[in-house]
């Protein structure tokens, strides 16, 4: 909880990127760490899933009814 809502409401001290761009950067960083790591760790998958959920929230993708067959 120390980070507050920094993913969706960045304080933009150094980076001036918006929330969506910042989340995409975090996803890229995590994918790079996975690719360059020696093994896939549970923490890597949990972090990646978390960033993807944050991206969906940031974009307002909260209605999945259109995905039903």
**Per-residue model confidence (pLDDT) at position 2:** 67
In Å, how far from its chain's centre is CA 46? 11
DSSP 10-65: ---SS----HHHHHHHHHHHHHHHHHHSSS--HHHHHHHHHHHHHHHHHTT----G
pLDDT in tens, the chain (69 residues): 666 676 777 777 777 888 889 999 999 999 999 999 999 999 999 999 999 999 999 999 988 887 776
Spatial separation of the C-alpha atoms in residues 14 and 1, rounded to whole Å: 21
Among residues 27, 51, 31, 49, the alpha carbon closest in space to that of 40 is found at 31
pTM of the model: 0.77
**pLDDT for the residue 1:** 64
Quote the pLDDT of residue 14.
75
At residue 25, the pLDDT reads: 93
């Amino acid at each position: 909880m120390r980070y507050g809502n920094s993913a969706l409401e960045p304080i933009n001290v150094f980076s001036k990127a918006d929330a969506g761009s910042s989340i995409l950067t975090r996803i890229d960083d995590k994918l790079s760490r996975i690719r360059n790591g020696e093994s896939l760790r549970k923490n890597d998958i949990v972090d990646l899933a978390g960033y993807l959920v944050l991206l969906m929230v940031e974009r307002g993708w909260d209605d999945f009814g259109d995905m039903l067959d």
